[in-house]
Structure 1
Amino acid sequence: MSTVPPSEQPDEQPSISDEQLEAFLREAAEGGGTAAPKEPSARARMVTQRLREQGDAPPPGWRTGPALHEVNGRSRRRRRLGAALGVLLVAGLAVVAIRPSLLLDQLPGGSDDKPEAGASVAASPVTGGGPTLDAPFRGSPARSWAEGADAIELPAAKAVGDMSEDQVEQALRQTKDFLVASNLDPAVRRGGRPTKALSFLDPKQPDMLPDARRALRSPDREHDPVNLFTRFDPDEVRPVGDVVKVRGRMTYEAGEPGQVRVRADYTFVYPVAKAESGADRISRTIVRRGLTMVLSDPARWDVTAGKLLVERYDAAYFNVACENEGGFLHPSFPTAAPTDSPPTGEARDPYDLDTPLGEVFDGEACGTVTRS
């Protein structure tokens, strides 16, 4: 996007009236609207302030601190496992109020989006460039992404270190299966227990499974299942269609003798609407997950054959509320009211796949998103 601000010379004539700009900002806050008019940013701020005083402005950024979790388990003959950090980067909509064009990518096809697989066929007609029940990925870079489990493509397996090609292939396949079971399983996304995902983890890794089960049973800030599993409260939101857009990559390398290490970094985009009947306002929750999984040779390590050790996991969540109460992600909607102090963290692009995940969240400050 351009970094050159519009002119703010006092003698420059405005290109549109206050009434036109006010109507545009109202439309943008409701998720519709057309391309942003060329307007001095000072006037935009003045009109936005007037809307805020009238109670119609979109909320300031959502806030929270990081949800911390450490993997401190080790198998008896394992010498080290990296610390794990699950972080919470929350979304804000204040930027969108001034620059609604940030929501719209220049993607082929313009606004002529076809309904996504599984989307409602009884949705209202498209009236703007934002998401609808028929086209929940409209205006998002994820519109052109692959979807579901097929988007998680495995690299060609080759022997590394003293691990065979078959062992490497097994580690890759099981890492994918874990990602699918923990982030794409419809029952898990609707708040269900991730039983299949848990089945891939080695019960001999101290604390890992007990901590995960404890988080699912009695979630709190220190034990939050969303650090590993994507779950929404079914009483709060419902998925829009069956499609989840996915993009990322998986790599592998030799670990310690008798081990192969798999690194996965994937972003998932979930369109949701409020659970109540007739709700048609769409929010896209964006979850980026980093995983480092280890498959060990049971002939050399005290492990369960065919099970994975979790060496590290990281996560960043966008377009969600600050407080992940109840062990769920809570999507934010444009009409939601702000809760506490303004966001102090940097603005982030949730579709940025190049910045290392460990650098996405800095400290305990909460930031905003530049697009949703």
Structure 2
Amino acid sequence: MAGRPSDGTPSASGDEAEPSTPSIPDEEWQKFVEDAERGRASAPKEPSARARMVTERLRAQEARGELPPGWRTGPAWQEMNGRATRRRRWWAIVGVPLAVAVAVVAVRPSLIPGDPFGTASEASDAAAASPLPAETAAPTGAPGAVDPDTPTVARPFAGSPAERWADGEAGITLPAANPVGTLTRAQVEQALRQTRRLLVDANLDAATLRGERPETALDVIEPRQKELLDRLRTALRKPDKEHDPLRMFSRFDPAEVRLAGDVVKTRGRMTFKEGEDASVAVHADYTFVYPLVREGSDEVARTIVRRVLDVEVSDPTRYQVTPGKIVVKRYDQEVGNTACDLYDGYLHPHFDSAEPTGAPPTGPTTDPYDRSKDIPEDRRVECGVVSRT
């Protein structure tokens, strides 16, 4: 059995030496000891024939006095071996914890004091820009303050709570439909979808925003609401103070401004309940944020429009209504950052680098992002100042 080799020197009596046991060179044994100390011990290997010959030759030389005394056990060898042992112990004490620390920092670099790699700020930016969950109830207050970053064409919603809002139509989600009164679930679902179509075409459609005629929005309104439709068509054709299309539609003068990018941010909610006259009453409350630039300029300004819409759909088997159409009962809006007392049918955002247009604001200062309060139906329509855009 292989083991630590014995001396193997012939006896002084001259008697025939005992058969020698295959020996293991010191280099092999030292490697085994080192591997064992590192925790990955491997069994000593049977030395090769050449190794055995070298070992026997060295022992014969030692017996004849041809090697210096204590060449294997002398002070120099012991000192060298002691230094190696101390180095191994030092790495065992320091190296393993150091390796563990490096691995932990690689997984969580923010644990380093001072965040030298800037990962904490990157994580904070990512969290700040993560999308908000859908709004299912009225907020309890205005959104919190946001770092006052300057909006750019590449990042037009920087410094705005809307940066975390949904993009365009994705922000107009429908509640799950169920039967209401005599109306089936399918009829309620159709009323919700038609309300959404009106909101999308009136506030998000690219052609509508450029000032073109919002045909889809007009088409979903009950044809029997002739007075309303006539008023809206007149406002689109020849806007004035009494016929202002902005009460229902978001429009910008393409000769003056254009969208910065192709995203409008949207946030709000839609609910429904049983209405009068065997109907379902749908209530929609949404805020749209439009980033805009002027031709030849990179400055970004934002206009914020909040719209409240109440519609009803009655049971066509009991009332004279057009199936698939909605009756608009109320449409109202609040606008932030647009010129006051201009009735040309367009919203006119203010840019810091341009002279203000329109009349000076006379109304109170409001937060256009505050969705916690209802828009009063009987309020005085005053053009005020916004606290932020």
Question: Quick check: 1:369 aligned with 2:386?
Answer: yes
Change (3 A) 1:364 1:113: closer
For structure 2, the 5+ residue unaligned runs are: 1-122, 131-147
The question of whether the paired residues in 2 share the 8 Å contact of 1:113 and 1:135 is answered with no
CA deviation after TM superposition for structure 1 residue 164, in Å: 1.4
Corresponding residue of 2:169: 149
Secondary structure, aligned partner of 2:333: strand
Corresponding residue of 1:287: 305
Change (3 A) 1:340 1:176: closer
Question: Quick check: 1:200 aligned with 2:220?
Answer: yes
CA deviation after TM superposition for structure 1 residue 111, in Å: 12
Q: In structure 2, what is the Cα distance between the partners aligned to 1:138 and 1:235?
A: 25
**Per-residue CA shift, 1:331-370, capped at 9, x if unaligned?**
11113334577534221111001111227x9424432111
Secondary structure, aligned partner of 2:232: helix
Match among 204, 208, 230 for residue 210 of structure 1? 230
Match among 293, 296, 309 for residue 327 of structure 2? 309
For structure 1, the 5+ residue unaligned runs are: 1-106, 115-127
The question of whether the paired residues in 2 share the 8 Å contact of 1:111 and 1:129 is answered with no
Corresponding residue of 1:319: 337
Q: In structure 2, what is the Cα distance between the partners aligned to 1:364 and 1:269?
A: 20
Corresponding residue of 1:109: 125
Secondary structure, aligned partner of 2:235: helix
- Aligned-CA RMSD value: 2.3
Change (3 A) 1:204 1:108: farther
The question of whether the paired residues in 2 share the 8 Å contact of 1:111 and 1:138 is answered with no
The question of whether the paired residues in 1 share the 8 Å contact of 2:340 and 2:360 is answered with no
Secondary structure, aligned partner of 1:207: helix
CA deviation after TM superposition for structure 1 residue 262, in Å: 0.3
The question of whether the paired residues in 1 share the 8 Å contact of 2:339 and 2:357 is answered with no
Question: Quick check: 1:249 aligned with 2:266?
Answer: no
The question of whether the paired residues in 1 share the 8 Å contact of 2:339 and 2:359 is answered with no
The question of whether the paired residues in 2 share the 8 Å contact of 1:152 and 1:247 is answered with yes
Q: Name the aligned partner's letter for residue 375 of structure 2.
A: L
Change (3 A) 1:113 1:281: farther
Q: Name the aligned partner's letter for residue 270 of structure 1.
A: Y
Q: Name the aligned partner's letter for residue 172 of structure 1.
A: L
Secondary structure, aligned partner of 1:327: coil
Q: Name the aligned partner's letter for residue 298 of structure 2.
A: D
CA deviation after TM superposition for structure 1 residue 165, in Å: 1.0
Question: Quick check: 1:182 aligned with 2:202?
Answer: yes
Which protein has the bigger helix share?
2
Q: Name the aligned partner's letter for residue 192 of structure 1.
A: E
Question: Quick check: 1:226 aligned with 2:242?
Answer: no
Change (3 A) 1:153 1:111: closer
Q: In structure 2, what is the Cα distance between the partners aligned to 1:329 and 1:159?
A: 40
Change (3 A) 1:113 1:172: closer
TM-score using structure 1 length: 0.63
TM-score using structure 2 length: 0.61
Q: Name the aligned partner's letter for residue 193 of structure 1.
A: R
Corresponding residue of 1:28: none
Q: In structure 2, what is the Cα distance between the partners aligned to 1:256 and 1:160?
A: 11
Q: Name the aligned partner's letter for residue 326 of structure 2.
A: L
Q: Name the aligned partner's letter for residue 163 of structure 1.
A: L
The question of whether the paired residues in 2 share the 8 Å contact of 1:348 and 1:369 is answered with yes
Secondary structure, aligned partner of 1:109: helix
Secondary structure, aligned partner of 1:295: strand
Q: Name the aligned partner's letter for residue 371 of structure 1.
A: R
CA deviation after TM superposition for structure 1 residue 237, in Å: 0.4
Q: In structure 2, what is the Cα distance between the partners aligned to 1:133 and 1:258?
A: 49
Secondary structure, aligned partner of 2:217: helix
Aligned pairs for 1:37-76 (under 5 A) are: none
Question: Quick check: 1:329 aligned with 2:329?
Answer: no
Instruction: Identify which of structures 1 and 2 has the higher relative contact order when contacts are C-alpha pairs closer than 8 Å and 6+ apart.
Output: 1
Q: In structure 1, what is the Cα distance between the partners aligned to 2:284 and 2:306?
A: 10
CA deviation after TM superposition for structure 1 residue 145, in Å: 0.5
Identical amino acids, percent of aligned pairs: 51
Q: Name the aligned partner's letter for residue 205 of structure 2.
A: D
Corresponding residue of 1:56: none
Change (3 A) 1:293 1:272: same
CA deviation after TM superposition for structure 1 residue 206, in Å: 3.0
**Per-residue CA shift, 1:119-153, capped at 9, x if unaligned?**
xxxxxxxxx82100000000000000111111111
Q: In structure 2, what is the Cα distance between the partners aligned to 1:195 and 1:202?
A: 13
